[in-house]
Chains A and B, each alone.
Chain A
Amino acid sequence: MKYETVIGLEVHAQLLTVSKIFCGCSTKFGQAPNENTCPICTGFPGVLPVLNKKVVEFAIRAGLATHCEIARSSCLARKNYFYPDLPKGYQISQYELPICINGYIDITVNEIVKRIRLTRIHIEEDAGKNIHDLRSDSSLVDLNRAGIPLLEIVSEPDIRSAKEAGTYLRTLRSILQYLDICDGNMEEGSFRCDANVSVRPEGTTALGTKVELKNLNSFKAVEKAIEFEIRRHVETVSDGGKLVQETRLWDPDREETRSMRTKEFAHDYRYFPDPDLLPVVIDDEWIDEIRTSLPELPGTRRARLMCQYDIPAYDAELLTSRKDIADYFESALKIHRNPKAIANWITGDLFRLLKERKLDEKLYITDWPVQPDNLSAMIALIDQDKISGKIAKKVFDAMSESGRSPQEIVAEKGLEQVSDSESIEESINQVLAAFPKQVSDFRAGNQKVLGFLVGQIMKATQGKANPQKANEILKRKLAEEN
C-alpha cells in the first residue's frame, strides 16, 4: 500500500519594527533581562494597547507578496490562557477576521513549479521567555520578547514531502527578507515553524490523523522531523495500529519525535474580539501605496536576471538567495558587463570570504570585504587582458585586505600582465636556453614537458606573462627551431 503525506506548515515570523506591537518599547535583541519592558507589555493593572502602524504595513506587504486578499476590516482578538511568559493571561492575536487570506507561494522542487496555498496571515504579539533556573524549584521569566510583533503564516496542507517543506520554508523566508520585514533567523527564533503531518493511502482524499510537530529549530530539523513522522505514521498504520492526534516535540539529539505530556484538557482559548481595540481598517489608498513600493521579489528577480543577463538557473538561484547578494551582482554589472564572470566570482571567492569572516550571518551586508565596483573593475582588467585569472586571485585577496581598487593594487605590485610579444619572446628565449634537456624532450615527442616550460616562463616573468600569448609564442619557437 502506498501512502501520501499531507503537510501543513505554520510559520511565526518576528517583524523588524523598531518598537513593539502595542507599546513603545524597543524590539532590540540581546538586552539585559526585562530591559525592554514597560507596564503595557508586562501586563500591569490598568494598561491599554495601541497598535503599531508599521506592523499592519508589514502584514499588508506580506499579503501582497503572497497574492492574498487583504481584509479591509480585520479584528484583533484575545486568546486566553495562563502561562508565566504571557503577562496579561491572554495573547492579542487575530481569530475570525485575519488581515490576509487565500494567498499562495510558488515553489520549485526538482525543476517543477508547485503552488502552495496560504490559508491566512495574521498579526499577533509574541510571548516572553522562560529560562530554567539553576535551582530546581523555579524558573526565570524575561519579558523583553513579550509584545514583539509576529506574523503568523498558515499554509494549506498542500505540501507532500519533507523536501517540499524545506523548499517552502526557504522560499517564504526569502520573500520575507526581500520585503525587509523579517530577518528569517531560525536559530535565533525570529522565524519559527510548526508542522502538521498526516498520511493517507495514495489516491484517497480523507485526511489521516494529524500530528503537530514543535521544537523545529532549523530547516534541517523540519525536514528530518517530517521524515521521521512520515515513517512513524506509515509504520503504525501499516501494522494496523492507531495514531493519536497529539503534539510531538522534535528531539534533535535523539533525532526522533516524542509525545508532549498531554494536558488534562484540550486548550480552550475562549477567543473574543478585544474590547480595548477596534477593527483594523485598511483603505484601498494605503494598499496601493504599499503595492507600488513593494521591492522586486526573489522569484521575479531570479527570472529577470536569467533573462536579462543570460545566466543559468542555478547561478540565478544562488545570486537571488539573498537580496544583498542580488543587489551586489547588479551593482557590479553597472561597472562592467560580464555577468557570467561576475556570478562566478561572487558564488566562488566572495561567498567563501563571507563565510570565513562570518559576514553571511548578517541580514543585509553593507560592509563588503570587496566592494562590487572593485570586483567588477578587476574582472574588466582580466577581460582587457591586463591581468591573468591567476593574478586576479592575488588582486582579489589584496582588495579584501586593503579595500583598495584593483588598478591601484596592480600598479603598486607591478602585476600587470605582459602581453607584448617582444618581451615575452625574450623571456621564452631565456627559458629555452636554460632548459635544453626539456626542449629536446619535447621535440622527441614528450608533450607533457610543455607545461613545465610554461611554468618556467611564468616564473621568469613573475606570473605576468600573458599565458595565451606565451603558449602561442613558445609553441611557435619550439616548432621552428631546428
Chain B
Amino acid sequence: MIAVIVLIVIVVVIVAVLAGMYNGLVKRRNQVDNSWSQIDVQLKRRHDLIPNLVEAVKDYMSYEQETLTAVTQARAAAIDAGKQGPQAVAEAENALTGTLKSLFAVAENYPDLKANQNVMQLQEELTSTENKIAFARQFYNDSVLTFNNKVQTFPSNLIAGMFNFTTRQFFEAPESDRAVPTVDLR
C-alpha cells in the first residue's frame, strides 16, 4: 500500500517537473515570436515613414538625387526581404539604416531643411523608430538567447528534443553595418 502511494507520488512529481519544463519552453518560444513581431512592427513603421520623408525633403535636396534614390531603393529591397527570414531582413534593413544615415548627414548641409518643422518632426519620428528597431532587436536577441539556452542545456533539452523545439536565429548586425560609409562633415 505504502509502496503504491510512494510510486504515485514519484510519478506525479516527475510529470509536474516535465510539464513545468515544457511550459517554460513554450513561454520562451512565445516571447521570441512576440519580440520578433515587435521588430516587424517597427520596421513596417519605418517603411511607412520614409516616403513622407523623401517627399518632404526632395524640393530642398534636388542636387542629392543619388542619396534619395538610394534610400528609396533600399526601402524597396527591405520590403522584399520581408519574406525571406531573419537573416535577409537583417541585411536589407541594415542597408536601409545606412542610407538613412547618409541622408541625414547630407541634410546637415541644408539649413532651410533643418528649420522646416515638418522635416524636423519626421526626423524625430525616424530617429525614434531607428531606436525602437535597435531596442526591439536587443530584446529579441536576449529572448533568443534564453530560449536557445533552454533548448540546448540539460535537462530541458530532452523535452525540447521530444517536442521539436529548435533553436532560433539571432538578429545580427552583419559586417557591412559596422562599415557603413559615413559622410563626415565636421
A binds B: no
Residues on B close to A: CB < 8 A? none
